[in-house]
Amino acid sequence: MALAPKAVAREASVPDLALYQAIRDEGLKRSQAMAHAESLVDDVGARLMGSPSMRRAYDWALARMRTLGLSDPRLEPIGPFGLSWRQTLAWARMIAPDQAQFAAAASPWSVATRGAVEGEAVAVRLETDEDLRRFKGRLAGKVVLLGAPTASPADGPAVVRHSDEQVSRGEAAEAVRAYYRTVVERRARQGREGLFKARRNAFLAAEGVRAVVIDGGAAAPGAMVVDGSELGGRPWLSAERPSFPALYLDGQAYARCWRLAQAGAAPRLALEIATEEGDPNEPGYNVVAELPGWDPALKTQVVLAGAHLDSWAAGAGAADNAAGVAATLEAVRILRAVGAKPRRTIRVVLYGGEEQGLYGSEAYARRRLGWIPRSTAPEQMALPVEGRRAKVGPLRKGPEYEGFSVAFNLDGGSGRIRGVFTGGNPALAELYRAWIAPLKDLGVLAVHDGPHWPADQSTFTEIGLPGISFLQDPLDYDSRAHHASLDTLERLSSADLAQAASVLAIFLINSADSDARAPRP
Q: According to the model, what pLDDT value does residue 218 have? A: 64
**How far from each other are the two terminal CA atoms of the chain, in whole angstroms?**
43
Contact (Cβ atoms closer than 8 angstroms) between residue 415 and residue 496: yes
Contact (Cβ atoms closer than 8 angstroms) between residue 54 and residue 322: no
Q: According to the model, what pLDDT value does residue 10 have? A: 58
Residues of the chain with pLDDT under 50: 1-4, 7
Close Cβ partners of 439 (under 8 Å, ≥ 6 residues apart): 20, 503, 506
With 0.75 as the threshold, say if the pTM is over it. Answer: yes
Q: According to the model, what pLDDT value does residue 240 have? A: 94
Q: Which CATH class is domain 85-161+198-277?
A: alpha beta
Fold of domain 17-83+282-513: Aminopeptidase (3.40.630)
Handedness of CA 358, 364, 366, 369 (dihedral sign): negative
Residues 342, 395: Cα–Cα separation, whole Å: 30
Contact (Cβ atoms closer than 8 angstroms) between residue 498 and residue 323: no
Give SS3 for 399.
Answer: coil
Residues 40, 45: Cα–Cα separation, whole Å: 6
Q: Where are the domains of the chain?
A: 17-83+282-513, 85-161+198-277
Residues 442, 17: Cα–Cα separation, whole Å: 14
pLDDT, tens digit, for every residue of 131-156?
A: 999 999 999 999 999 999 987 665 67
Give SS3 for 151.
Answer: coil
With left for phi above 0 and alpha for psi between -120 and 50, is residue 159 left, alpha or beta? beta
Tell me the one-letter amino acid at 410: L
CA 310 from centroid of its chain's CA atoms = 8
pLDDT, tens digit, for every residue of 376-432?
A: 999 999 998 888 999 999 999 999 999 999 999 999 999 999 999 999 999 999 999
Q: Where are the alpha helices (DSSP H) in 390-480?
A: 426-436, 456-461
Residues 496, 477: Cα–Cα separation, whole Å: 13
**3-state SS of the chain: helix, strand, coil percent to 5?**
40, 20, 40
